Structure 1
């Protein structure tokens, strides 16, 4: 049992650290001096991240989850 817990802790620490790093990189995109984006771009990013966080919470509550692994902007037509 302890072996599984040690593996969980080791992997969780690395993966959460990686996600924090990636979120900060996404945050760098907010710099209007370097990037041009709309409120709709921001909404789509935030909605997707919120959806994935809800799915993650559900998996830890043993609920079903959505399996979306990529992100792309929805084009307005």
Structure 2
């Protein structure tokens, strides 16, 4: 059974979020993320050019959501 690319990408993001949250950026490795997802480390680079890009994809949606909540709470538009 072939796994869809979006499924793999989503799993990478979910595992990366967990790893970054538990260990922080510097102690999280692409190899550990790949192992937890069940793909080769090289395969992650088909989805994300670097650890920095992966971190950005994990963190920025949260930051944008927090910013929106703060703006709504303080009446800023």
When normalised by structure 2's length, the TM-score is: 0.35
TM-score with structure 1 setting the length = 0.35
Query: More helix by proportion, 1 or 2?
Result: 2
> Quick check: which has more Rg, 1 or 2?
1
